[in-house]
Structure 1
Amino acid sequence: MPKKNTFARRTPTDIALHVWGILVFIYLFVPIAVIIAYSFNNGKVLANFRGFGLHAYISGINNDIIVSSIVTSLQAAVGTAIVSTIFGTLGGVALARARRGAWWALGLTAILGLTLVTPEIVDGISFLPWFVTVGVDWGITPLNNGLVRLIISHAMFSMAIVTFIVRARLAGMDTQLEDAAADLGATPWNRFKDITLPIAAPGILAGALMSFTVSLDNTILSSFVQQPGYTPWPVYIFSAVRVALRPEVAAMSTVMFVLTLAALGFVGFVLRKAGGNATEIIKTMAA
């Protein structure tokens, strides 16, 4: 049988939307492609291309300040993902199991939603005196550590993301599985561990990845709560732009971009193995 020409059956509107989608992707990713290309610049200044090579990567790896800022960002991102995933999972399960119209669920949803829409500049101004008061005046010394400050401040925002993703994942779950397990004598912990947690696992993993990437990208809040010796990578780049953007910045940013893509690909692979199709994976990632 001859193959059907599906392209010929598309309306002008469908073709226009496909073209528009391609243009949007080009608009989003061309700047990233430019940075990746210029990361192989052997010149001293990023905008002045002086030959193709790996000098920027070698110089960046040998720069202790750059390596320290990248390590700080990765440590803060991992810590943020752990804290946000733990509390966000508990919050997402609680909201998914809440009775319709429960006052505490409405209140929690409102508070979490408020953290997502509050400008980061406001969060930074709020966190800075709070850390000083609690850490210095009250003598709670762990809050004087720069890495702890970054994790706590980043987790406040990321926790809401994980909560909503996990709640969306569990929204359509059939509670009869848990009820049947309870009838068979399973304890609440065993029901959570053996039934709820495996079902929510793709959403938990997606939330952890989102927390990780959001923490890596946080600049405004990090610039307020950072301390000497714990300068994250985005703050370092923001400071470097004021003088001259060097190829080392593009090289190390490319490395972190590749790491983020690898993490995203891993999460997509896990979600795919969990039985989700492309639409379900997108819905899970977007809550």
Structure 2
Amino acid sequence: MTMTKTEAIARLDEPETGAKVRRARSPRSWSDIALNIWGILVLLFLFAPIIVIVIYSFNTGRLLISWDGFGFDAFLTILEKPAIQNAVRVSLITAFIAAIIATALGTLAGIAMARHPGKWTWWFLGLLLFTSVTPEIVDAVALLPWMVFLGQDLGLSMFDDGIVRLSIGSSLFATAVVSYIVRARLVGQDANLEEASGDLYAKPLATFMKITLPLAMPAVLAGFLLAFTLGLDNTIIASFVQVSGTTPWPVYVLSAVRSGMRPEIAAVSTIMLVLTLIALAVVALVLKRAGDSATDIARTMAGG
């Protein structure tokens, strides 16, 4: 069915239809093209080093910078070197324990800030922000004598254990991140359900377990996975607080650089990159299934 000229003009006068037609016919300006090109260049600048290290993880040469051919020799070498296996194992264990500590503390802090706001909230947020922006070298220098004091002077032998030291050190920044995420999740949700639970004479613990925690659970899971990924690469703090026999992967790489980078280092780095991407994908999936939009997911993961 064809439209007359008058009907076509009338459709163009409609706000939505007219805007669509004008957008379809208007040519792209040079500024739009330039911005697209600039965006691509920025992405290449950010991700080119990662792409290079992933490619060189399949290098069959003896040294990382000497490309001899494509193969999986570097990944197979990981199974033959106990030092690499131990470093990866220590990193995974400490990251997991640090994520548990950060999630437990950060979840309670985030719920408290969201459900009991007041002047103290801004002071507490300031302290969390201070923790987030403090240079890691400062935290590392402060943690080392503190751990020695707790372990030797006070006789708390657990603080002489390398896993405990690394876990506590890795959980500092991650706790602040989890607090931001949980608070951002609950601030945007009404507390009517919790108030109704109280009106029905439910005990505070029952309200927390059956209503508050389920409401915050997507953010709790997201915070746990992010804390886990943050705990994998805590190089500066790990290099200060580690003890003999519990060398994490970042410190192992740092010491291996002095004798020459080998392809197996790139191979393990690629595996950890894949683990990080999987964790982030799971975070996005959890938040999406909770009903969040893409904007909400980005805001929650950033703690906004």
Would you call these one fold, judging by a TM-score over 0.5? yes
Q: How does 1:54-65 map to 2 (within 5 A)?
A: 54-65=72-83
Q: 2:58 aligns with which of 32, 35, 40?
A: 40
**Superposed displacement of residue 23, structure 1:** 2.1
- Residue 80 in structure 1 maps to residue 94 in structure 2: no
Partner of 1:257: 273
**Superposed displacement of residue 154, structure 1:** 1.1
Partner of 1:149: 165
Q: Give the structure-1-normalised TM-score.
A: 0.93
Amino acid at match of 1:153: G
Unaligned runs of 5+ in 1: none
Partner of 2:211: 195
Q: Give the structure-2-normalised TM-score.
A: 0.88
Partner of 1:127: 143
Partner of 2:39: 21
Alpha carbons of structure 1 residues 128 and 18: separation in structure 2 relative to 1, 3 Å: same
Select between 137-146 and 186-195 the one with higher mean Cα deviation: 186-195
Q: Distance in 2 between matches of 1:65 and 1:85?
A: 30
**Superposed displacement of residue 17, structure 1:** 3.4
Q: How does 1:1-287 map to 2 (within 5 A)?
A: 6=24, 8=26, 12-101=30-119, 104-287=120-303
**Superposed displacement of residue 8, structure 1:** 4.5
**Superposed displacement of residue 223, structure 1:** 0.3
**Superposed displacement of residue 15, structure 1:** 4.0
**Superposed displacement of residue 66, structure 1:** 0.5
Amino acid at match of 1:272: K
**Superposed displacement of residue 112, structure 1:** 1.4
Rg: which structure is higher?
A: 2
1:19 is paired with a residue of what secondary structure? helix
Q: Distance in 2 between matches of 1:209 and 1:52?
A: 33
**Superposed displacement of residue 99, structure 1:** 3.1
Q: Distance in 2 between matches of 1:264 and 1:33?
A: 18
Q: Distance in 2 between matches of 1:113 and 1:198?
A: 26
Amino acid at match of 1:21: G
Identity of aligned residues (%): 49
1:90 is paired with a residue of what secondary structure? helix
2:172 is paired with a residue of what secondary structure? helix
How many aligned residue pairs are there?
A: 285
**Superposed displacement of residue 205, structure 1:** 1.6
Q: Distance in 2 between matches of 1:267 and 1:175?
A: 24
1:242 is paired with a residue of what secondary structure? helix
Unaligned runs of 5+ in 2: 3-19
Select between 215-224 and 201-210 the one with higher mean Cα deviation: 201-210
Select between 6-15 and 202-211 the one with higher mean Cα deviation: 6-15
Amino acid at match of 2:270: T
Q: Distance in 1 between matches of 2:27 and 2:199?
A: 55
Q: Distance in 2 between matches of 1:247 and 1:260?
A: 20
